[in-house]
Structure 1
Amino acid sequence: MYRYDQHDHLIIQQRIAQYRDQVRRRLANELTEEEFLPLRLQNGLYHQRHAYMLRIAVPYGMLSSTQLRKFAFIARRFDRGFGHFTTRQNIQFNWINLEDTPEILEELAKVEMHAVQTSGNCMRNITSDEFAGVAADEIIDPRPYAEILRQWTTFHPEFAYLPRKFKIAINGAEQDRAAIAMHDIGLTVVHNDAGEVGFRVMVGGGLGRTPILGSIIRDFLPWQHVMTYLESILRVYNLHGRRDNKYKARIKILVKAIGIEEFARQIEAEWLNNKGGPGTLTEAELKRVAAYFTAPAYATLPASDAAYEEALQSNKAFANWVRRNVKPHKVSGYASVVLSLKKAGVPPGDATADQMDFVADLSDRFSFSELRVTHEQNLVLADVRISDLLQVWQEAKSHGLATPNIGLLTDMICCPGGDFCSLANAKSIPIALDITERFQDLDYLYDIGDLELNMSGCINACGHHHIGHIGILGVDKDGSEFYQVSIGGAQGNNASIGKIIGPSFSAGQMPEVIERIVQVYLKNRVDAERFIDTALRIGVTPFKDFVYATPIQTGLHTGEDAGTAVSY
């Protein structure tokens, strides 16, 4: 993985010194909160309902064991013993004291990490496929390009104050696991007919108040020109994007307003001025960065292992975990393991300091001291020997990280919601806990099969509810918390935006609402048809008719107020 050079170290130390003085001035009341706001946002610090929240960047989702141990240290010393992994492959700490933040940034710098550009109207953390470099269906490893773009976007002076936040995702595999269609810019590594490497470029995606899937603006862009072309996109957006209304400031609104054809024309015109300029990538630069992502020292192993095969046959619980949580690897004898952060009774995406230390140790012993963060809020050991899978499962199970539910209903995406976020209209965590409790029967869960449930506490859509097979959105209804449900959203190669089924529901009704939706699916599916395929085939009406056919009794939801107590 990438290591900082002298320029990285210098610029981060300069930023920390600058920020330390800004905090000193704020604590001394030399800066008002209004003056301090843009300064702290530049360093990933938000003010939430109960305390400050610090968001730390995890570039393209990659972590070393040393970096994860640093997160555990921060959780213990500066937070309440846990952290929250996000849909942007970052980590958030929700109970931070302002006076501690310069020291936290110093600690992060020791392990080559920072919180720069994790908030504000700038280019955010570059995200990618959590299986990059090891996926069996990978075309080209996207990580060198992601790192080049990370360096290019960090502290870019021309784009430090964009009309609105800006997100870029890059995918290098046949299957899109980076949700590129919902990003401001989505890149897919492809080959043209001549076998040359380049990018398919999408623009104008985004969720929030106006969910829009990105449009292809170029089918093939030679890799050498990725920065100059993206710079052209950013320049057109920076020039014409609205700054008078933050709800209409994203690039998706600009693309919709002028049309994709006109937008593309303007990009191509701007690119004529940039093409071949200083931002053009060279073979030497690509090789320099790619050298940080060389394959680890894989052993020569058989494709399978006798003890592993025997365990699959004799241990149903292990076999269930392998079926859901173990993914194919491009190297014979290895597999990738997804450690589920979706155990019943725990807020989705949360990990304790002890769990983080354990996963760091696990990665040292079994996965070349490296791990990944997924945008579904789980962790990945990318390079595990098949012969070690049984031991990894046994140890992960003892630490609450082996729930065999990846891709199933209880593997839900969930933002922190109203328990923490001051923007939220409703709580998310208690609803997630209640739904998870309702679907604890693994046989039933496996019969339902692949089903993505995404939940957001407000229209900002941090939980990606628009692209969930079932989406849940927290709304305010006369001062009370209610929940709007959508059906038919999807990420990946066949991305789609879900459709709202009807009026919103109370918190206590939500587990039964989800149960009724599942019943409609089970009644109407054909053969082994997935939920999303059935939903797209039959449409919203059958779900709506059954959900609203008879009243749903309102009961008290069981989830604790995570703002004051979180149960692990």
Structure 2
Amino acid sequence: MYKYDKIDQQIVNERVAQYRDQTRRYLGGELTDEEFRPLRLQNGLYIQRHAPMLRIAVPYGLMSSTQLRKLGEIAKRYDRGYGHFSTRQNLQLNWPKLEDVPEILAALATVEMHAIQTSGNCIRNITTDQFAGIAPDEIIDPRAIAEIMRQWSTFHPEFALLPRKFKIAVSGTTQDRAIVQAHDIGLEFYKDAQNQMAIKVWVGGGLGRTPILGTVIREHLEWQHALSYCEAVIRVYNIHGRRDNAYKARIKILVKALGIEEFRRQVDEEWTHLKEGALTITQAELDRVAQYFEPMPYETLPAHDASFDTAVASNPAFAAWAKRCVHGHRVPGYRAVTISLKPHGKAPGDITSEQMQVVADLADAYSFGELRSSHEQNLILADVKLSDLFAVWEKARAADLATPNIGLLTDIICCPGGDFCSLANAKSIPIAEAIQMQFDNLDYLYEIGDIELNISGCMNACGHHHVGHIGILGVDKDGSEWYQVTVGGKQGNDASIGSAIGPSFSAEEMPGVVQRLIEVYLQQRSDEERFIDTVRRIGVAPFKAHVYAEQKEGASAS
């Protein structure tokens, strides 16, 4: 992973000192709320429903065991002993005191972490596949380019006050796990006909109030021009993006209004001024940064391990975990492990200080001291030997970190919702917990198979409900919390936006609604069909009919 040089550390240290003084001036009455607001946002601090919320950056989802330990210490000392991993691979603290935030930022700086550009109308944390560098289907490891882009975008003076927040995702695998089509810019790395690294560029994707999947603006971009082309895109957006209406300020609205051909023309025109300039990435610079992402010191191991095979055959609980939480690796004898942050009845993505220490210990003992966070709000040990998997499982299980539900219905993506967020129309976490308890039978979950359920507390779609196989959106109805349901959304190469099935439901109805959707799937599926496959084959109508027929029968009976 990338290590700070003297310049990186100096920049972060200076920012901490600046914010410490800004906080002092605010608490002393020298700065008004309005004056302090942009300063705190530049340092990742929001004022939420009940308390401040601090969002800590985890660039491209990669961190060390030392960093996770520090996060655990900070959560215990300055918060309520836990943190929350978000869909952008960052960590959020929900209860810090405003006056403690400078101390938190100073502590983060000691382990090369910060909260810079985790909020505000700027280029946010650049995200990627949680299996980058080790995925068997990887064509190009995009992390070096992602780091170069992080350095380019950090404190970029031209893009500090964009019309709205701006999100970039990169992917270099056959199967897209970074959701490049749902980002303002998505970069899809591949090998061209000359076997050279090239990039397919998507623009204008985004969820929120107006969900739109991105459009390809350039099929073949030479990697050397990744910065200059992205800068041209953002310049055109910065010039023309709406600033009079926050709901219409994202680049997706501009691309739709201009049309992709006109938007491309303007980008290409802007690019002519940038293409061969200082933003061109040299091979020397790529090599310099890439050295931080060199393969780990892998041992030469057999592709199979007898002790692992024996444990799977003799221990059904371990076998279930291995099936769901263990993933392929490009190096023989190694596997990636997903540490589930979705135990039944708990808020998805939450992890206690004690659990952070456990995962850090696991990373040190079994995965070269490195770990990743995922879009799905889980943690990953990327480089575990087959022979060590049983020991990892035992230790993770003892800390309630081995729920074997990755990819299943209870592996729910969920925003903090109305329990914390001042923007939310409804609570998200209680709905997730109720659904988890409704489906608390692992055998039944395995029968259902692969399915994605995403929950957002408002139209900002931080829970990415639009691209869930089942999506749940909290809405306000006459001052009460209700939930709209969509089906048919999907992330990945064949991404799609879900369709609403009809009028919204009360919180109490939601577990039953999901149950009825699953009933239709189990009745209608053919061999090997996932939930999304059945929806695409038979359409939304049968799901809608069953859900609302049951609702009418219930109303009649009462």
- Paired residue type of 2:365: R
Alignment partners' CA distance in 2, 1:193 and 1:298: 31
Write the deviation string for residues 147-178 of structure 1: whole angstroms up to 9, x where unpaired: 00000000001111000000000001111010
Task: Give the unaligned 5+ runs of structure 2.
Answer: none
Residues 25 and 31 of structure 1 are in contact (CA less than 8 Å); yes or no, is this contact kept in structure 2?
A: yes
- Could you tell me which residue of structure 1 aligns to residue 413 of structure 2? 413
SS of 1:387's partner is: helix
Structure-2 change in CA distance of 1:130 and 1:552 (3 Å): farther
1:139 paired to 2:132: no
Alignment of 1:296-311 (within 5 A): 296-311=296-311
Distance 2:258 2:109 in 1: 43
CA offsets 1:5-37 (integer angstroms, 9 cap, x no match): 111111111111111111011101111111111
Which structure 2 residues correspond to residues 202-217 of structure 1 after superposition, within 5 A?
Answer: 202-217=202-217
Supply the AA of the counterpart residue of 2:115: A
Q: Which residue of 1 aligns with 2:293?
A: 293
Instruction: Tell me the residue number matched to 1:40.
Output: 40
* Residues 116 and 309 (structure 1), Cα distance of their counterparts in 2 relative to 1, 3 Å cut: same
Query: How much does 1:554 deviate?
Result: 9.1
Mapping 1:219-234, distance limit 5 Å: 219-234=219-234
Q: How does 1:149-168 map to 2 (within 5 A)?
A: 149-168=149-168
- Superposed counterparts of 1:5-84, under 5 Å: 5-84=5-84
Aligned residue number for residue 85 of structure 1: 85
What is the identity, as a one-letter code, of the residue corresponding to 2:438? R
Query: Any idea what SS the aligned residue of 1:513 has?
Result: helix
Question: Secondary structure of the equivalent of 2:170?
Answer: strand
Which residue type is aligned with residue 355 of structure 1? Q
Q: Specify the alignment match of 2:316 in structure 1.
A: 316
Structure 2 residue matching 1:132: 3-state secondary structure: coil
Instruction: Look up the match of 1:345.
Output: 345
Residues 272-287 of structure 1 mapped to structure 2, 5 A cutoff: 272-287=272-287
Amino acid at match of 2:501: I
SS in 1 for 2:455: strand
Residue in 1 that maps onto 2:181: 181
Mapping of residues 229-268 of structure 1, within 5 Å = 229-268=229-268
Opposite residue 402 of structure 2, the aligned amino acid is A
- What SS does the aligned partner of 2:403 have? coil
Please state how far the C-alpha of 1:345 moved relative to its aligned partner: 1.8
- Corresponding residue for 1:485? 485
CA distance in 1, matches of 2:424, 2:333: 46
1:313 deviates by 1.1
Matching residue's letter, 2:252: K
- Counterpart amino acid of residue 267 in structure 1: V
SS at match of 1:421: coil
d(CA) in 2 for partners of 1:500, 1:177: 24
How much is the aligned-residue C-alpha RMSD, in angstroms? 1.0
**Conserved in 2, the CA contact under 8 Å of 1:340 and 1:406?**
yes
Please report the TM-score for the alignment, with normalisation by the length of structure 2. 0.99
* Whole-angstrom distance in 2 between the partners of 1:521 and 1:426: 27
| Cα-to-partner distance string for 1:507-556 (whole Å, 9 max, x where unaligned) | 0000000000000011111111000010111111101000000327999x
Written as runs of structure 1 = structure 2, the 5 A alignment for 1:523-562 is: 523-551=523-551
User: Structure 1 residue 261: deviation in Å?
Assistant: 0.8
Q: Secondary structure at the match of 1:190?
A: strand
Q: Summarize deviations over 1:434-463 as a string: whole Å, max 9, x none.
A: 000010111110010000000000000000
Would you say the 8 A contact 1:506–1:554 is kept in 2?
no
Give the deviation of 1:299 after TM superposition. 0.5
Shift in CA distance, 282/29, structure 1 to aligned 2, threshold 3 Å: same
Q: Distance in 2 between matches of 1:551 and 1:227?
A: 53
What's the offset of the Cα at 1:341? 0.3
**Hey, what does 1:119 align to over in structure 2?**
119
TM-score normalized with structure 1 length: 0.97
Structure 1 residues 553 and 541 mapped into 2: Cα distance closer, same or farther (>3 Å)? closer
Match of 1:558 in 2: none
Query: 1:346: Cα distance to partner?
Result: 1.1
What does 1:482-521 correspond to in 2, within 5 Å? 482-521=482-521
SS in 2 for 1:115: coil
One-letter amino acid of the counterpart of residue 148, structure 1? I
- Partners of 1:406 and 1:430 lie apart in 2 by 20
Query: Can you give the 5+ residue segments of structure 1 that lack an aligned partner in the other structure?
Result: 556-568
SS in structure 2 of the partner of residue 551 of structure 1? helix
Tell me the residue number matched to 1:401.
401
Note closer, same or farther for the CA distance 1:456–1:552 as it changes in structure 2 (3 Å cut). farther
Secondary structure of 2:550 counterpart: coil
Q: 1:315: Cα distance to partner?
A: 1.1
SS in 2 for 1:149: helix
Alignment-mate amino acid for residue 401 of structure 2: L
In the other structure, the counterpart of 2:431 is 431
Name the CA distance, whole Å, in 2 between partners of 1:371 and 1:211: 31
Q: Does the aligned pair in 2 maintain the 1:346–1:433 contact within 8 Å?
A: yes
- Look up the SS of the partner of 2:138 in the other structure: coil
Q: Distance in 1 between matches of 2:465 and 2:14?
A: 39
Write the distance in 2 (CA, Å) between the matches of 1:394 and 1:528. 31
SS at match of 1:548: helix
Corresponding residue number in structure 1 for 2:2: 2
> Is contact 1:453–1:468 with CA below 8 Å preserved after alignment?
yes
How far 1:187 moved relative to its partner?
Answer: 0.4
Cα distance between partner residues in 1 of 2:554 and 2:298 = 55
Write the letter of the residue equivalent to 1:173: T
Give the secondary structure class of the aligned counterpart of 2:519: helix
Cα distance in 1 for partners of 2:554, 2:390 equals: 43
CA distance in structure 1 between the aligned counterparts of 2:304 and 2:551, rounded to whole angstroms: 53
Report if the CA contact (8 A) 1:509-1:552 is conserved. no
Runs of 4+ off more than 4 Å: 552-555
Distance in 1 separating the partners of 2:533 and 2:282: 44
Q: Relative to structure 1, is the Cα distance of residues 552 and 414 closer, same or farther in structure 2, using a 3 angstrom cutoff?
A: farther
Distance 1:8 1:59 in 2: 14
- Give the secondary structure class of the aligned counterpart of 2:16: helix
Give distance in 1, aligned partners of 2:328 and 2:536: 28
Q: Do the aligned partners of 1:509 and 1:553 also contact (CA within 8 Å) in 2?
A: no
Q: Are residues 1:171 and 2:176 paired?
A: no
| Cα separation, 2, equivalents of 1:468 and 1:397 | 28
